[in-house]
Amino acid sequence: MKSRFVERLQNILCGEAIFLNEDLKAHTSFKIGGPAEVFLEITDISDLLKVTNLCKEEGVGFFVIGNGSNLLVNDEGVEGVIIHLTGKLAGARIEGDVIRAGAGLSLSALAAFTVEEEYTGLEFASGIPGSVGGAVYMNAGAYGGEMKDVVAGVYIIIDGELKYFTNDEMEFSYRHSKVSKLNNAVIVAVDFKLTKGKKEEIQAKIDDLNSRRSEKQPLEYPSAGSTFKRPETGYASQLIEEAGLKGTRVGGAEVSKKHSGFIINVDNATARDVKELIAYVQKVVEEKSGVKLYPEVKML
């Protein structure tokens, strides 16, 4: 990394927010990956705009993470800048008739906020191990609900400007949104339109869904959640199990015996282990069922 770029970063952020060769294992739910050339903790929109504009000026690539829950990071690490949203960009407040949440806020923390404020509609997301920004980026969903059902609008940095997109303008579909087609776009905050409910009922529904999730999913192991997108016919986990792949291992990576839709890190798995296991699962499932599986996990 050019010293000039780092010096310009230091003019924007305090030294405590800039980390060189930061190990990304500590910042992803898979607990896999090499170092980031530059890792930044950014707390407000002003600094985020300045940093992303600086990256553009200097021709330095950047990638934004929240909880790092849907990422598989290369063993050799990544060049450029990793931006971690925190502080004001990971908070929530009520603005008029919407709940405005920073993109870096975890979905579990947002769910807890909705319980305290007695708003219902986001219970389905309480156990999804991701951030608000990541969830909106991929229109995350569970138990019959998706982000598109509760999002009123999204604030996004595009070409150095903060812009607002309504729900319709976000072009939500299965595990997809408008943002995935935009280069270097950064989700900053999201407005959620929810309805008032009773605190005890909201909490009871969250507890029930989290209990069901814990019974069925291998939450005791590091993973990136569901490894594959839902195919056009059937379910990925069913196809993987029918192919006899449950428990299959490559190095420290394993197709979960508890839920075959998950590839888990059981013994210091590397990104190479996971990639090889994903490719093997795809190959065998296609041979046995004729269905091609596509990864849901983002590979960085």
| Active site amino acids | 175, 226, 296
Q: Which helix (H) or strand (E) holds 92?
A: strand 92-95
Round to the nearest angstrom and report the end-to-end CA distance of the chain: 18
The angle formed by the CA atoms of residues 126, 131 and 133, to the nearest 5 degrees, is 125
- Tokens coding 2: 């050019």
Residue listed under structure tokens 């924007």: 12
Residues whose CB falls within 8 Å of the CB of residue 163, separated by 6 or more in sequence, listed in order: 155, 156, 157
- Tokens coding 228: 């594959």
Residue type, 199: K
Distance of CA 203 to the CA centre of its chain: 24
Contact 180, 138 (CB under 8 A): yes
Residue listed under structure tokens 């709940």: 99
Which DSSP symbol is given to 173?
A: B
Closest CA to 38 of 75, 9, 71: 9
The angle formed by the CA atoms of residues 73, 4 and 10, to the nearest 5 degrees, is 75
Residue 124: phi and psi, rounded to 5, are -60, -25
CA atoms of 188 and 45, how far apart (whole Å): 7
